[in-house]
């Protein structure tokens, strides 16, 4: 799908903010930025925008948990990653969808290959980020099948996560005594 000029400007601004927040290790700002990108990703349903949302979320988790400190040459990684993001911004500003997608994939690969010792962990963070973002995309009305296809995750993983989230929400809400008694009577009758 070809993005319109307005969307390209928005994505460009998001990517600029990503670079700044990553450089300053601002995990909450990255997480917020990731959440903002999900809405737009749902509208256009292009894999590059969704990959960006997933990458931003994964980076926020690495910084939030201070796992970035385990990555040798973190500063070199940030410089390289931000250089790729600069190329992504240039491609999106020129409305070159093919290059935009190529550089987005390259940014993901750069994160995945940043540390041999942490590669399985980073891949796990990226996978969990994809599942998390997938549940958000599904909340916006995109089907499980389409969401799992876009993110490259199984419908099973996505369904399992969505089920866990909804049961957590239900556990957090309380039911008054009268309603609980009524439910118990219905259950045993």
Please state, in angstroms and rounded to a whole number, the distance separating the CA atoms of residues 93 and 78. 22
110 exposure class (CB count in 10 Å sphere: 0-12, 13-18, 19+): middle
Q: pLDDT tens across 37-96, in order? A: 876 666 666 778 888 888 998 999 999 989 888 888 899 999 999 999 999 999 999 989
Q: What residues contact 52, with CB distance under 8 A and at least 6 apart?
A: 11, 14, 15, 18, 37, 41, 104, 107
Q: Note the pLDDT tens digit of each residue in 2-18.
A: 677 888 888 899 999 99
């Amino acid at each position: 799908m070809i993005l319109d000029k307005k969307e390209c400007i928005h994505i460009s601004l998001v990517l600029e903010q990503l670079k700044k927040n990553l450089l300053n290790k601002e995990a909450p700002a990255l997480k917020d930025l990731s959440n903002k990108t999900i809405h737009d990703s749902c509208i256009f349903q292009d894999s590059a925008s969704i990959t960006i949302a997933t990458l931003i979320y994964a980076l926020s988790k690495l910084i939030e948990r201070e796992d970035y400190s385990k990555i040798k040459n973190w500063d070199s990684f940030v410089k390289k990653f931000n250089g790729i993001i600069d190329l992504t911004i240039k491609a999106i500003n020129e409305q070159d969808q093919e290059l935009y997608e190529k550089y987005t994939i390259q940014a993901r690969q750069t994160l995945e290959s940043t540390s041999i010792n942490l590669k399985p962990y980073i891949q796990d963070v990226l996978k969990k980020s994809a599942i998390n973002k997938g549940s958000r995309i599904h909340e916006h009305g995109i089907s499980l099948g389409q969401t799992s296809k876009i993110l490259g995750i199984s419908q099973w993983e996505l369904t399992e996560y969505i089920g866990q989230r909804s049961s957590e929400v239900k556990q957090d809400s309380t039911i008054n005594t009268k309603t609980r008694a009524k439910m118990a009577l219905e259950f045993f009758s």
